[in-house]
Amino acid sequence: MLLSEKAQTVSAVRSKFDALGDQLDERQRRLWAGAEARVIGPRGISWVAEATGLSRTTVRAGVKQLRYKRRRKDPASRVRIRRAGGGRKPLTHDDPGLSEALNELIEPATRGDPESPLRWTCKSTRILAAELAAQNHPVSHETVAQILKAQKYSLQANRKTLEGNQHPDRNAQFEYIYRQVKSAQRRKQPTISVDGKKKENIGPFKNTGREWRPKGRPEKVKVHDFIDKELGKVTPYGVYDMLANKGWVSVGIDHDTAEFAVNSIRSWWKRMGKSAYRNATELTITADAGGSNGYRTRLWKLALQDLADETGLRLKVCHFPPGTSKWNKIEHRMFCYISKNWRGRPLLTRQTVVELIGHTTTTTGLRIRAQLDTNEYPTGVEIADEELAAIEIKRATFHGDWNYTIYPRR
């Protein structure tokens, strides 16, 4: 009963505030909020603050002013109203480097849901405030929370997203990847995140989500999702440029193999990367631990060697720890927007997939190019020990199985 009463009261106050808020100055808004809180009763301050977005301190001040039995009756001309934009400036105004310093602390520990662009962090606001203070950015944990909310972070409970046992060096590997990516970006060298999106059925099949259509006229699709023998499935493999916020997707019609994955990187380099990084000498690649770009896949390393020989680039590869595939940047910076762009829309043809991916954009400037890859990629290709030994590979001192560099052969 209490919850229902609260919901109704908050909704009613919010409706009033939406109608009157722009017509009231700062003093009038404060007194009106105090009056509403007095009418509601003991929980009035909290409920009015929630409904209006005003702070509890402001609502409480309005209540106190209304309690004065003998208020000074000053002429209206002497009533002092703070002009728009007045008051104490936020800390980010006086300390421009605060937001950047906070992002530097959060970035190595940031996770992402592949179906949502919203980010969340596993560090508490008090720990972040203490680390910022140690870097000469004195700030309270409440201010840290406000900045995080402004940057679209949120505080969330635990969620089952791990795909296996946690590796003891998981966090250390995340920090290693972060340092390698930042080092490359400071030197204006390209850094990409790669991964394969889930396979999609082509044809009049149901697609998750909804889109606007005339009322009572939904798009008709098949009841059963049996694969169309002629159209089959497509496998989108993406390459996300973390520095330029641009992406490339090769839409394959054959098997998702290591050769297909590397050929997608090759296509990105030829059509987008080469012109954007004319002075590049190395390419940093972050990838999952398994799948077609897994660290144990021999064909992946052999195909990368061919790419290094062809481009003349040093290929520095960093794999995410096992069981953390959803933490890959491409998942929550590119794939989630592709899924949003075609939600509720049947993927009738292969060209439909290419067009929908290519027209995916965001307000932050994300641009994606897509192309159909009609090549055949046979499975079961075996790599002999001699071919593997001929690869010019140098493994890092920290987890050389996950972190290694492939050099072009002379």
Q: Are 12 and 44 in contact (CB under 8 A)?
A: no
Nearest to 90 by CA among 42, 149, 12, 36: 149
Amino acid at the residue 299 = L
What is the pLDDT, as a whole number, of residue 74?
47
Encode pLDDT of 158-182 as tens digits.
555 545 566 788 889 999 999 999 9
Query: What percentage of the chain has pLDDT greater than the value 70?
Result: 79
Token pair 């209490």: residue: 2
Count of CB atoms situated within 10 Å of the CB of 150: 11
Of the spans 26-40, 55-69, 257-271, 346-360, which averages the highest pLDDT?
A: 257-271
What is the pLDDT, as a whole number, of residue 225?
60
Count of CB atoms situated within 10 Å of the CB of 94: 9
What is the pLDDT, as a whole number, of residue 79?
53
Answering whether pTM is above 0.75, one says no
- The more confident residue out of 105 and 72 is 105
What is the pLDDT, as a whole number, of residue 66?
85
With the C-alpha atoms ordered 207, 213, 216, 219, is the resulting torsion angle positive or negative?
negative
- The more confident residue out of 275 and 222 is 275
Find the mean pLDDT for residues 215-222. Answer: 58
Distance set, CA 231 to CA 42, 125, 235, 303 (Å): 65, 51, 12, 28
pLDDT at 289 over 80: yes
What is the pLDDT, as a whole number, of residue 212?
47
Amino acid at the residue 49 = A
Encode pLDDT of 305-345 as tens digits.
999 999 999 999 999 998 887 788 899 899 988 888 777 66
pLDDT at 210 over 90: no
Average pLDDT in the chain: 82
Find the mean pLDDT for residues 378-398. Answer: 93
Tell how many helices (H) and how many strands (E) occur in the chain: 16, 11
Can you point out the beta strands (E) in 185-272?
Answer: 191-196, 200-201, 233-241, 246-252
What is the pLDDT, as a whole number, of residue 77?
43
What is the pLDDT, as a whole number, of residue 325?
78
Least confident of 138-147, 200-209, 259-268: 200-209
Token pair 């003991």: residue: 42
What is the pLDDT, as a whole number, of residue 214?
58
What is the pLDDT, as a whole number, of residue 69?
47
What is the pLDDT, as a whole number, of residue 126?
82
pLDDT at 293 over 60: yes
Encode pLDDT of 34-60 as tens digits.
999 999 888 889 899 888 888 888 899
∠404-408-410 over CA atoms, to 5°? 140
pLDDT at 76 over 50: no
d(CA 143, CA 146): 5
- The more confident residue out of 308 and 116 is 308
What is the pLDDT, as a whole number, of residue 257?
95
